[in-house]
Amino acid sequence: MKVVAASFAFSLVVGFAVAQTKPFQQQTTKDSLLYSQWYQHLHSNPELSTMEAATAAYLKKTVAAWGYQITDSLGYHSFAAVLKNGNGPVIYYRTDMDGLPLKEQTGLSFASNATMMRANESLPVMHACGHDIHMSVWLGIAKLMAEQRNTWKGTLVLLAQSAEETGQGAKRMVTTANFQQLPKPSKLLAVHDHASLPAGTVGFCNGYMMAAVDMMNITIYGKGGHGAVPDQAIDPVLLAAQYVTAIQSIVSRNLSSNDPAVITVGGIQGGSAGNIIPDKVLLRLTIRSYSETSRELIFKRLKTIGDNLAIAAGLPNDKLPTYDLLDMSIPSVYNTPAFGDQLRSVVTKRNGAAAVQNVLPVMIGEDFGVYGRYFKDTPAFLLWLGTAAQNSNAAALPSLHSPFFAPAYKETIPGAVQVIAGCLIELFANTK
């Protein structure tokens, strides 16, 4: 008797999920032309980080028509669109809005020809990281959730964020007075394009998903002189070469092999002629790590190695290297495992096992992790969003940040709206 009852209960759950998914499919099919119009407009009109005024205005005007209340002044052009629908959980869903300084080469009829001035320089602009996809999905979710008010209770907070690409937007947002007046979230959710996952699928990575990103400039000092008499100088070029080699041991010899990190020296600037020993050399680094412990250890070792190499070369204390951590640091993205398991179950139930992909952690950065740090005990998850055309050769596809990146938007957006809206409906139904 218990087996029969359990089977009957399971059938009811599956039947409810199918019943809920079917109108979503009907609605997203009906709205597919609208999705394409949104996407093409946003793709053709990208704006650089902190300059997304027209983009934000377009999003605000669109969602306001569906009954969302706008909370402005969240840093740069960031805002929140809030839909209160009775008592229930509060769920945040974030999109980013900024483009990249890149000349588009996709050949699309609606390709971006936009340029913007930054620091007295005219730069081409392109949505090469798929934020136009993110915003189109965000709009689709906003419309669908407004139309499906009778199926859920709670408060949906749709965040539209400036300056993700430069690591400034989320950090600025959480410091604003208006953000702190928003209702506190029960869950935090967002998506990020994945150039090689098939459209209609979502990728899951529990735990650390993306790295903390730090950009650091290190100045190695020396004593300038003639290249013909190096014994009368202290050569900072030689010191810089020794330093670049030495710091490669930090990850391989100071961190656990189970705790990945990356230290890359992407730029070296020093000297003006082959016969002149300069008095300093500038190194430009990017540092990627997951745990805060590893991050702090890397910083400590960078300084210890640099200082001791300088001392060994005979430099005084006032000529030790300087370590300038730039204001672009963002924390790692940590996906709450239990929340990920919940979302995986929802997607599998509503969209089938084929819609779920497992993705390994990566060393790229994303400032969504800022929200997880700010709301310390709130489950947070960033889903990978497949954007590749079905049956395409993933190895041959242009990557994110490529001038040739052209996601299969007609397949991606409707499928993503169905998946994410389905997750939101079930999350609002589950108050735990």
Give the model's pLDDT for residue 20. Answer: 55
Q: What is the pLDDT of residue 328?
A: 87
pLDDT of residue 17 exceeding 80, the answer is: no
Q: Please state the φ and ψ torsions of residue 207, each to the nearest 5 degrees.
A: 80, -150
User: What is the pLDDT, as a whole number, of residue 56?
Assistant: 98
Give the pLDDT confidence of 109-165 residue by residue, as tens digits.
Answer: 999 999 999 999 999 999 999 999 999 999 999 999 999 999 999 999 999 999 999
164 is an annotated ligand-binding site residue = no
Terminal-to-terminal C-alpha distance of the chain: 30
Name the average pLDDT for the chain: 94
pLDDT at residue 6, as a whole number: 39
pLDDT at 178: 98
Using CB atoms within 10 Å of the CB of residue 403, give its burial: 0 to 12 exposed, 13 to 18 middle, 19+ buried: middle
**pLDDT tens-digit readout, 317-336:** 999 999 999 988 999 999 99
Neighbours of 354 (CB within 10 A): 10
Long-range CB contacts (within 8 A, 24+) of 401-404: 401/100, 401/102, 401/128, 401/129, 402/128, 403/102, 403/103, 403/104, 403/105, 403/106, 403/126, 403/128, 404/105, 404/106
Q: What is the pLDDT of residue 431?
A: 60
pLDDT in tens, 230-255: 999 999 999 999 999 999 999 999 99
- Helices 131-147, 409-429: crossing angle, 10 deg rounding: 50
Note the pLDDT of residue 421. 96
The yes-or-no answer to whether 14-210+332-429 and 219-325 have a common fold is: no
CATH value of 219-325 in 3.40.50.300, 3.30.200.20, 3.20.20.70, 3.30.70.360:
3.30.70.360
How does pLDDT run across 180-234, given as a tens digit for each residue?
A: 999 999 999 999 999 999 999 999 999 999 999 999 999 999 999 999 999 999 9
Using pLDDT thresholds of 50, 70 and 90, give the confidence band for residue 10: very low
Lowest mean pLDDT among 3-7, 68-72, 177-181, 378-382: 3-7
Q: Mapped to the 3 state alphabet, what secondary structure does the chain carry?
A: CHHHHHHHHHHHHHHHHHHHHHHHHHHHHHCHHHHHHHHHHHHHCCCCCCCCHHHHHHHHHHHHCCCCEEECCCCCCCEEEEEEECCCCEEEEEEECCCECCCCCCCCCCCCCCEEEECCEEEECECCCCHHHHHHHHHHHHHHHHHCHHHCCEEEEEEEECCCCCCCHHHHHCCCHHHHCCCCCCEEEEEEEEEEEECCCEEECCEEEECEEEEEEEEEECECEECCCHHHCECHHHHHHHHHHHCHHHHHHHCCCCCCEEEEEEEEECCCCCCEECCEEEEEEEEEECCHHHHHHHHHHHHHHHHHHHHHCCCCHHHCCEEEECCCCECCEEECHHHHHHHHHHHHHHHCHHHEEECCCCCCCCCCHHHHHHCCCCCEEEEEEEEECCCCCHHHCCCCCCCCCCCCHHHHHHHHHHHHHHHHHHHHHCCC
For residues 389-410, average pLDDT: 90
Residue 15 has pLDDT above 60, yes or no: no
Residue (of 329, 380, 358) closest to 168 by Cα position? 329
Distance CA 109, CA 401 (A): 20
How confident is the model over 359-363, as a mean pLDDT? 97
Rounded-to-integer distance, Cα 248 and Cα 264, Å = 9
43: annotated binding-site residue?
no
Res 16: pLDDT:
40
Domain boundary assignment for the chain: 14-210+332-429, 219-325
Q: How confident is the model at residue 21 (pLDDT cuts 50, 70, 90)?
A: low
5: confidence class by pLDDT, cuts 50, 70, 90 = very low
State residue 105's pLDDT score: 98
Q: Confirm whether residue 192 is marked as ligand binding.
A: yes
Under the banding of pLDDT at 50, 70 and 90, the label for residue 11 is: very low
pTM of the predicted model, to two decimals? Answer: 0.91
**CATH 3.40.50.300 is held by the domain 14-210+332-429:** no
Q: Which residues have C-beta within 8 Å of that of residue 59, sequence separation ≥ 6?
A: 79, 81, 97, 135, 138, 139, 160
Residue 432 has pLDDT above 60, yes or no: no
* pLDDT value of residue 25: 85
pLDDT at 396: 76
